[in-house]
Structure 1
């Protein structure tokens, strides 16, 4: 049968060649030794270093994805094996391979106070590149939480105090029951601080030899923020959520530092980038803060920091 891909009429090396958005069922770890099946969106590439070859063998990549992504939980070892198989299948054409995997990880979450549980779903992107310099792995996820503005909270407290003083100004002595009744009425909360749904976009590079643990990473981020969004909510849970927000007032800068400190303390993470977005209820625009892993001797205005992590879009030409 004719093979026009081997035609050298259109020759020249290419940075990456492959396929995007291959859908495949696969298993991922969810922590505590458990796994779940997800639908993976796979992008698979190899470079084409031969300047006398027109194209690669894409069916080989697809066959290997179908073979390696199945009932065995996807981990660092499985990723490296698959990338090595990509290169072995194209040993005469390529010396670099890349795989990007996107899926949604569902984690079971307990309500804050009531004895109920629900599911939270988190988007996850895992990318691996194998080349002459070895294996490079990155993991990205997004965590949604609530943020209450500290400045707005202070202004609301000031209004409440002013209303309290005005209401009891004629009283020589204020009884505890009268003060309690006033605080329990709508008059006791004349102003409320503004809060908003907020998002932490986190990108990490695991330390060499370390395995990634997406569930543990999400848990660490949510614990550092203190106000992750909830699933099922009864009245006691909503009250506990309001209490958590009151105890965790934060600007976007505060949130970025919280996550930064939590990830800096994890020796299994070699590098990370954080993008915090507070979708303001006060403004029609968002408040945003970036943070990265602290490194001595590097300026926060360096080019690497300004550009942030590699995009999760089309792959670039670097290893």
Structure 2
């Protein structure tokens, strides 16, 4: 007769049965895309709740075992991430829990968390402001006692090509030479009117939306400080994309582009210099991408802190 109290004992568990013809160790086994809320303090003391996608994995070092206990990983992820603010300590404890629950199967664990964090950004000149959603990726791993933590984000900005700017200036000079006789005395009002006309800007340099993708490894004891990382990067570049824009803000943005001409190499070096001075970062990896308006391909540059055994020289991702 059916008995509710005995149901758990009667449920089959085929994962415990070995398959000798398929024996072998596996690098990682787990789940990806777990939907869970997370609490994240970006460095301003305001812990926001966000909807995250989480990957949770352990290795399977027992070739005679068919699988891992995925439900254990899921329940630990749900409990830890939905109730605690993300921190190095909480993530380390979570990974330790992964291994303790699989102590007969695994000796390595890793975790990835992806979500967006809203940050209010002020306008360049007006009193307005607006929200920017910055993607956040946190990855943590535990191998024995070695805990590794990384987090990253993206900064979108405008880049104006220095070569195109120089070529445009030359065309404007040529137009000026055609419109004003070199032997005649210049009339201030006429020149001023010419500069304000379409002839005075007969060519414009090409600019494009660009992206700086950042991955950092916090120094020991350092907290997640997303806002500081964003501020340093946007200040170094000088032309981050804007939210609320009135005419005075757009004019200020045009001035900023004119004063921050840059190739992708320049952008990567600017960010590198800014982050290299930040003692809270043990290492960093920078990928800048200028999504060209002149070409159908992108201009890309990479940079890192240059720490031995760190990101330096890592491949093109």
TM-score, normalised relative to structure 2: 0.91
Q: CA–CA distance in 2 between the matches of 1:274 and 1:244?
A: 22
Q: CA–CA distance in 2 between the matches of 1:72 and 1:216?
A: 22
Q: CA–CA distance in 2 between the matches of 1:234 and 1:283?
A: 31
Q: Which runs of 5+ in 2 are unaligned?
A: 1-9
1:305 aligned to 292, 313, 317, which one?
Answer: 313
Other-structure match for 1:36: 48
Matched, 1:118 2:130: yes
Q: Note the C-alpha offset of 1:304.
A: 5.7
Number of aligned positions between the proteins: 305
Q: CA–CA distance in 2 between the matches of 1:95 and 1:141?
A: 29
Moved more, 68-77 or 171-180: 171-180
Other-structure match for 1:3: 13
Other-structure match for 1:286: 298
1:1-319 correspondence runs (5 A): 1=10, 2-10=12-20, 11-169=23-181, 172-295=184-307, 305-308=313-316
Q: Note the C-alpha offset of 1:24.
A: 0.6
Q: CA–CA distance in 1 between the matches of 2:280 and 2:53?
A: 26
Which has the larger Rg?
2
Q: Note the C-alpha offset of 1:295.
A: 5.0
Q: Is the 8 A contact 1:225 1:259 kept in 2?
A: yes
Q: CA–CA distance in 2 between the matches of 1:204 and 1:109?
A: 22
Q: Which runs of 5+ in 1 are unaligned?
A: 312-319
SS of the residue corresponding to residue 255 of structure 1 reads helix
Q: Note the C-alpha offset of 1:269.
A: 1.5
Deviations 1:181-203, CA, capped at 9 Å, x for gaps: 11112221111111001111111
Deviations 1:221-276, CA, capped at 9 Å, x for gaps: 11111111111211111101001101100001101111111111112222222111
Deviations 1:98-156, CA, capped at 9 Å, x for gaps: 10111111111111111111111121111000111410011121111100000111111
Q: Is the 8 A contact 2:237 2:267 kept in 1?
A: yes
